[in-house]
Amino acid sequence: MADIKADASLDLRGVLCPINFVKTKLKLETMDVGQVLEIVLDDGEPIQNVPKSIKEEGHKIVEVKKEGEYFRLKIQKR
Residues that bind another protein (CB under 8 A): 43, 47-48, 51-53, 55-56, 60-62, 64, 66, 71
Catalytic residue among 17, 31, 47, 61: 17
Query: Which residue, 10 or 73, is less far from another protein as judged by CB?
Result: 73
Give exposure, 19-46, as e/b (b: 16+ Cβ within 10 Å).
ebbeebeebbeeeeeeebbbbbbbeeeb
The least CB distance from residue 53 to another protein, in Å, is 8
Active-site residue, 65 included: no
Between the CA atoms of 62, 65, 66 and 72, what dihedral angle is there, to the nearest 10 degrees?
-70
Q: In the complex with another protein, which residue's Cβ is closer, 37 or 71?
A: 71
Active site residues: 17
